[in-house]
């Protein structure tokens, strides 16, 4: 790097002073005062520039920044030197900008008003007509998983300051990355011009007016992913100072110019993690000397690894909150049942005069909290049968480990819906705490769960032909999935062996960790809409799937905090300690049949061939192990 000779050669003047500017994580920026003018000169990272696509990416980004400038969006564009925005000199690439008087803002200096202006500018960038730039959209399908363990085996790993934190976290990364890849692929249905790095370090402020700098990453991309990331960075998330009002402000101003409705925001939120994992990978290789020998680069990489590990953990904890915030901004036109809850409160002495608020949890019913009570209103006609089934369960089962039912009304005289008033249960779900627990603590909870279920499973119930029940499910799925493979005929024959004998009891029917509350050391069961008489092993069919897909039944709050590694010993502990379960003949095979049914239900909804192949593999194992 020789900035003085560079300036002389390209007639930028004789250098008077050079000052290194902060902010760049890959490239280096300098304020350079010459006899001609004052410039901001960017010295580009040689490792980045060695990539085949790098040069063209910079050219495209500057075309985009000039388009923004033409549309009166305040930007800083590179100066053309001999017809080029990017100039190679002495084996180093340089970009030159007019130096802008102004300042970047720290979290403490950023106000809601700043965030509103950023939301407006971002929407204007996304609304740019880019057709004349002849940009080509590249749809990338993300499938990359990384050898995280391999980095821990590198010769320099033990010297790294991030060693301890990395070893505590890396084993879960590919489980999460596989799912966020899928979410990102599902969310990538629209693209437009995006800056792709519009965080506070890349916005200069001059008398409260923003000027957008560093367009090097600009290209066609998903605008909603950029909106989310921009709102995060301006709300203080990057420095662990998340502010909900600032986050909202970016969205609220953005949607005045560009709609944020009809977007699967949960996919966008989860998919946004892909970039953080890629940044972690890049900096691991940077810090460990895999892609660079420069000591300064290694040092920067080491700092970024520590920062990114911590940032990924915080992001995972914030996913549910972000989903709720954005959902609240969009749900302005959703049908309201406030009149119904107000009528229930007014005509129910237990609730009269109390305040209420709607709860977003619950997929099939409309739920309100009325101070110390929960009111569930069955607002979907197709759910009435299950809703009434739950009411009957509460009437026939009294226990300190299930919520109290105070009122159940199926008359539709007060409001045109069935409703129930229940005890409000405080506490986290098992999903909320499981990933934080030791194996010993997990075992203690499993033993409590077995004790909690035992009275239900011991109830005398009316028995029926459960073998036919299972075979009918399989036949229906075979027909609905249009499966012609004769292998599944073998499965039906095997069911006659596995389900000949059945130990019946009352089962919960939807037993997963989001329906179990942990309250001061005791467990409380929720949601009995699927409660039924059935063989007791059928109650564990979902928990048995946890060894493969434990996140399937988690809420948006805990989905990405849930990984299969934490659930490998769940069913073995249950089987070892539930005496009634242990006595069931063909227990392993029965669970395999339940797995197949679940897989076929997923295949019916997704048509993913790998799901069908997994179900076939289990059938073959049953067939040959008979």
Whether 181 shows a pLDDT value over 60: the answer reads yes
Tell me the per-residue pLDDT of 301-331, one tens digit each, with 9 for 90 and over: 999 999 999 999 999 999 999 999 998 898 7
132 contacts 232 by C-beta, under 8 angstroms: no
Question: What is the average pLDDT across 18-25?
Answer: 74
Question: What is the average pLDDT across 168-173?
Answer: 97
Closest CA relative to residue 243, chosen from 251, 233, 235: 235
Last residue of a domain, one of 307, 330, 353: 330
Tell me the per-residue pLDDT of 447-500, one tens digit each, with 9 for 90 and over: 999 999 999 999 999 999 999 999 999 999 999 999 999 999 999 999 999 999
In a domain, 48, yes or no: yes
Q: How many Cβ atoms are within 10 Å of 245's Cβ, its own excluded? A: 11
Whether 612 shows a pLDDT value over 60: the answer reads yes
Last residue of a domain, one of 423, 444, 474: 423
Question: What is the average pLDDT across 432-442?
Answer: 96
Q: String of b and e for 600-609 (b: at least 16 CB within 10 Å)?
A: bbbbbeeeee
Last residue of a domain, one of 98, 129, 155: 98
The confidence band for 77, taking pLDDT boundaries of 50, 70 and 90, is confident
Task: Show the domain range for 10.
Answer: 3-98
Statement to judge: residues 324 and 343 lie in one domain? no
Statement to judge: residues 232 and 345 lie in one domain? no
Query: For all residues of the chain together, what is the average pLDDT?
Result: 93
Number of domains in the chain: 4
Statement to judge: residues 153 and 57 lie in one domain? no
Statement to judge: residues 550 and 411 lie in one domain? no
Largest CA distance in the chain: 95
pLDDT, residue 362, reads: 54
pLDDT, residue 44, reads: 85
Q: Is the dihedral of CA 100, 101, 102, 103 positive or negative?
A: positive
Whether 25 shows a pLDDT value over 60: the answer reads no
Q: String of b and e for 184-196 (b: at least 16 CB within 10 Å)?
A: bbebbeebbbbbb
Statement to judge: residues 270 and 198 lie in one domain? yes
Instruction: Tell me the β-bridge partners of 547.
Output: none
pLDDT-wise least confident of 160-169, 189-198, 464-473, 582-591: 189-198
Helix, strand, or coil (residue 66): helix
Statement to judge: residues 162 and 308 lie in one domain? yes
pLDDT-wise least confident of 266-270, 333-337, 539-543: 333-337
Question: What is the average pLDDT across 417-422?
Answer: 96
In a domain, 554, yes or no: yes
pLDDT, residue 335, reads: 66
pLDDT, residue 214, reads: 84
The CATH number covering residue 48 comes to 3.30.200.20
The CATH number covering residue 589 comes to 3.90.1200.10
pLDDT, residue 332, reads: 61
Pairwise pLDDT comparison (335 vs 297), residue with the higher score: 297
Phi-psi group of 11: left, alpha or beta (phi > 0 → left; psi -120 to 50 → alpha; rest → beta): left
Statement to judge: residues 190 and 296 lie in one domain? yes
Statement to judge: residues 527 and 548 lie in one domain? yes
In a domain, 487, yes or no: yes
Statement to judge: residues 495 and 616 lie in one domain? yes
In a domain, 105, yes or no: no
Statement to judge: residues 360 and 307 lie in one domain? no
Whether 238 shows a pLDDT value over 90: the answer reads yes
Tell me the per-residue pLDDT of 113-155, one tens digit each, with 9 for 90 and over: 999 999 999 999 999 998 888 887 777 889 999 999 999 999 9
pLDDT, residue 52, reads: 65
Tell me the per-residue pLDDT of 361-405, one tens digit each, with 9 for 90 and over: 556 789 999 999 999 999 999 999 999 999 999 999 988 899 999
Whether 355 shows a pLDDT value over 80: the answer reads yes
Q: What is the rounded distance in angstroms from the CA atom of residue 153 to the CA atom of residue 128? A: 47
Q: What are phi and psi of 64, to 5 degrees?
A: -65, -45
Statement to judge: residues 280 and 367 lie in one domain? no
In a domain, 415, yes or no: yes
Statement to judge: residues 519 and 590 lie in one domain? yes
Give start and end residues of each alpha helix (H) in 350-486: 384-396, 430-434, 439-457, 466-480
pLDDT, residue 135, reads: 82
Q: What is the rounded distance in angstroms from the CA atom of residue 237 to the CA atom of residue 48? A: 27
């Amino acid at each position: 790097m020789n900035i003085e000779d560079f300036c002389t050669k390209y007639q930028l003047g004789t250098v008077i002073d050079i000052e290194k500017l902060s902010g760049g994580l890959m490239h280096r920026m300098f304020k350079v005062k010459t006899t001609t003018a004052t410039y901001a000169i960017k010295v580009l990272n040689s490792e980045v520039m060695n990539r085949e696509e790098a040069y063209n990416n910079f050219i495209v980004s500057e075309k985009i920044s000039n388009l923004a400038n033409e549309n009166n969006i305040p930007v800083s564009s590179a100066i053309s030197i001999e017809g080029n925005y990017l100039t190679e000199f002495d084996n180093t690439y340089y970009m030159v900008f007019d130096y802008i008087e102004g300042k970047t803002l720290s979290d403490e200096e950023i106000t809601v008003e700043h965030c509103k202006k950023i939301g407006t500018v971002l929407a204007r960038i996304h609304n740019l007509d880019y057709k004349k730039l002849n940009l080509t959209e590249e749809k990338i399908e993300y499938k990359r998983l990384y050898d995280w363990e391999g980095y821990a085996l590198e010769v320099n790993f033990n010297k790294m300051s991030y060693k301890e934190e990395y070893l505590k976290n890396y084993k879960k990364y590919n489980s999460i990355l596989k799912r966020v890849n899928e979410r990102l692929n599902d969310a990538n249905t629209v693209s437009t011009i995006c800056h792709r790095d519009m965080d506070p370090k890349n916005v200069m402020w001059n008398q409260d007016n923003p000027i957008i700098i560093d367009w090097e990453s600009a290209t066609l991309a998903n605008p909603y992913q950029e909106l989310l990331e921009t709102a995060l960075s301006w709300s203080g998330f990057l420095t662990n100072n998340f502010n909900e009002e600032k986050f909202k402000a970016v969205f609220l101003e953005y949607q005045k110019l560009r709609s944020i409705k009809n977007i699967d925001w949960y996919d966008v939120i989860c998919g946004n993690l892909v970039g953080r994992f890629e940044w972690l990978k890049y900096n691991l290789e940077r810090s460990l000397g895999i892609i660079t020998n420069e000591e300064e680069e290694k040092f920067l990489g080491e700092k970024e690894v520590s920062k990114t590990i911590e940032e990924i953990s915080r992001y995972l904890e914030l996913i549910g909150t972000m989903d709720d915030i954005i959902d609240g901004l969009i749900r302005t036109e959703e049908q309201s049942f406030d009149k119904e809850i107000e009528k229930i409160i007014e005509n129910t002495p237990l609730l009269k005069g109390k305040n209420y608020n709607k709860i977003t949890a619950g997929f099939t019913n409309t739920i309100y909290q009325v101070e110390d009570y929960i009111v569930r209103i069955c607002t979907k006609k197709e759910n009435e049968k299950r809703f009434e089934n739950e009411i009957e369960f509460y009437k026939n089962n009294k226990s300190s480990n299930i919520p109290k039912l105070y009122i159940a009304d199926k008359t539709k005289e007060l409001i045109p819906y069935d409703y129930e008033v229940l005890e409000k249960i405080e506490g986290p779900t098992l999903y909320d705490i499981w990933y934080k627990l030791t194996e010993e603590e997990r075992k203690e909870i499993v033993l409590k769960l077995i004790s909690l279920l035992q009275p239900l499973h011991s109830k005398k119930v009316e028995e029926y032909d459960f073998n036919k029940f299972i075979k009918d499910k399989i036949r229906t799925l075979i027909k609905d999935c249009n499966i012609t493979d004769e292998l599944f005929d073998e499965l039906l024959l095997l069911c006659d062996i596995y389900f000949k004998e059945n130990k019946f009891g009352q089962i919960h029917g939807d037993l997963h960790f989001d329906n179990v509350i942990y309250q001061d050391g005791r467990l409380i069961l929720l949601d009995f809409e699927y409660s039924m008489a059935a063989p007791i092993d059928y109650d564990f069919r979902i928990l048995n799937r946890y060894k493969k897909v434990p996140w399937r039944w988690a809420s948006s709050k805990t989905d990405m905090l849930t990984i299969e590694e934490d659930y490998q010993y769940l069913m073995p502990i249950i089987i070892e300690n539930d005496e009634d379960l242990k006595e069931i003949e063909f227990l392993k095979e029965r669970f395999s049949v339940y797995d197949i049914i679940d897989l076929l239900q997923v295949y019916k909804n997704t048509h993913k061939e790998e799901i069908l192949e997994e179900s076939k593999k289990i059938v073959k194992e049953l067939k040959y192990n008979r």
